């Protein structure tokens, strides 16, 4: 399946990989034993991740070609099924799912209210909806970036208003790629117990911290208050992929180009100096002075 920018595919590396895999990975305990709908499932990688812990997963996408790819790619997973459908008219029965997941879908449709009503319709009364969408202020507003596949991006107030029309309780999280220093055990990785340290007012505090300006919003929604109190705050680490490796390569390449340019400049300066010391250059200067004198 070719990456067009509209749907993430697992072959993509870097920042986009961290963002997408983290969203699905953080739900492993929340989906445990549940019947789950992954709406706008795309390639199907996320549905497959959820199915490791869920009772069953149904992936729905509006693209027939995408669903055909997912059916073929994940045909060996007995508790996953894929279906063509529109997020504003979901083709399944009411109160048939315990959980609905929708990552990076809202901004792709103008029918956001219709989509939310449909999700509410198919959830059981105490069901849970997990959604993510870009923070318009950061994603496109600050950078002047225009994603051609986005129809209607939302700010925090707009998202909160939209979700609270359908759900009594909503807990919001922010997602952001950020730099950090990690200290971890080398001999027993299972013993990891990460503590957050924060620099504040020239002091280091062992404390949690909410990062400013999240690139994405993540919301946990339900009519059951205890459901939305579950924590999603987490860190995604990919041991096989250093997020900054491409930047290091670019820096190294630029440093090589700079060194070559400096060498070329030094050679040019040397040629110029040699020329200026030549008899021809000295005679030329004398001729120019005489010419100015008798003008």
What's the CA gap between 4 and 6, in Å, rounded?
A: 6
Contact yes or no for 225/168 (Cβ under 8 A)? yes
Degrees to nearest 5, angle at CA 216 with 37 and 171: 65
Q: Provide the number of structural domains found in the chain.
A: 2
pLDDT of residue 181: 77
pLDDT confidence tier of residue 189, bands split at 50, 70 and 90: low
Q: Are 198 and 285 in the same domain?
A: no
pLDDT at 224 over 90: yes
pLDDT confidence tier of residue 213, bands split at 50, 70 and 90: confident
Determine how many CB atoms are found less than 10 A away from the CB of residue 68.
Answer: 13
Q: Are 106 and 217 in the same domain?
A: yes
- The stretch 76-98 carries a mean pLDDT of 95
pLDDT of residue 234: 86
Contact yes or no for 106/133 (Cβ under 8 A)? yes
Which pTM was predicted? 0.79
Full domain range(s) for residue 259: 247-293
Does any domain span residue 188?
Answer: no
15 contact partners, CB below 8 Å, separation of at least 6 = 177, 243
98 contact partners, CB below 8 Å, separation of at least 6 = 34, 35, 36, 123, 124, 127, 128
Dihedral sign from CA coordinates of 251, 215, 224, 54: negative
- The stretch 233-257 carries a mean pLDDT of 80
Q: Are 262 and 232 in the same domain?
A: no
Q: Are 236 and 274 in the same domain?
A: no
The length of the chain, given as a count of residues: 295
Does any domain span residue 5?
Answer: no
Buried-state track 91-116, b at ≥16 Cβ within 10 A, e below 16: eeeeeebbbbbbbbbbbbbebbeebb
Which CATH number is 61's domain given?
Answer: 3.40.50.150
pLDDT confidence tier of residue 210, bands split at 50, 70 and 90: confident
Does any domain span residue 4?
Answer: no
Start-end of H helices in the chain: 15-25, 45-51, 64-73, 112-122, 136, 156-164, 225-228, 245-276, 279-293
Degrees to nearest 5, angle at CA 23 with 19 and 29: 150
What's the CA gap between 179 and 205, in Å, rounded?
A: 17
Contact yes or no for 39/101 (Cβ under 8 A)? yes
Q: Are 114 and 251 in the same domain?
A: no
Q: Are 252 and 134 in the same domain?
A: no
Q: Are 157 and 85 in the same domain?
A: yes
- The stretch 155-169 carries a mean pLDDT of 96
- The stretch 42-51 carries a mean pLDDT of 94
């Amino acid at each position: 399946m070719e990456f067009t920018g509209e749907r993430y595919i697992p072959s993509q590396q870097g920042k986009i990989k961290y963002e997408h895999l983290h969203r699905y990975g953080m739900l492993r305990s929340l989906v445990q034993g549940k019947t789950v709908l992954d709406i706008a499932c795309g390639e199907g990688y996320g549905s497959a991740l959820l199915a490791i812990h869920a009772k069953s997963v149904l992936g729905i996408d509006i693209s027939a070609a995408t669903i055909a790819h997912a059916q073929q790619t994940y045909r060996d997973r007995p508790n996953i099924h894929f279906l063509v459908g529109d997020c504003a008219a979901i083709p399944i029965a009411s109160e048939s799912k315990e959980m609905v997941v929708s990552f990076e879908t809202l901004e792709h449709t103008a029918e956001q209210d219709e989509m939310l009503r449909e999700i509410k319709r198919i959830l059981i009364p105490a069901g849970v909806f997990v959604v993510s969408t870009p923070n318009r202020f950061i994603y496109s507003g600050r950078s002047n970036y225009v994603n051609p596949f986005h129809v209607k991006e939302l700010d925090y107030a707009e998202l909160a208003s939209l979700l609270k029309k359908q759900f009594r309780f909503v807990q919001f999280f922010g997602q952001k790629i950020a730099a950090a220093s990690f200290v971890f055990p080398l001999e027993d990785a299972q013993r990891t117990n990460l503590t957050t340290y924060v620099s504040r007012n020239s002091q280091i505090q062992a404390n949690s911290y909410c990062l400013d300006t999240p690139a994405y919003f993540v919301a946990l929604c339900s009519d059951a208050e205890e459901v939305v109190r579950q924590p999603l705050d987490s860190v995604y680490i990919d041991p096989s992929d250093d997020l900054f490796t491409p930047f290091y390569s670019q820096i190294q390449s630029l440093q090589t180009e700079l060194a070559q340019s400096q060498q070329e400049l030094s050679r040019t300066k040397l040629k110029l100096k040699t020329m200026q010391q030549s008899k021809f250059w000295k005679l030329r200067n004398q001729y120019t002075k005489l010419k100015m004198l008798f003008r």
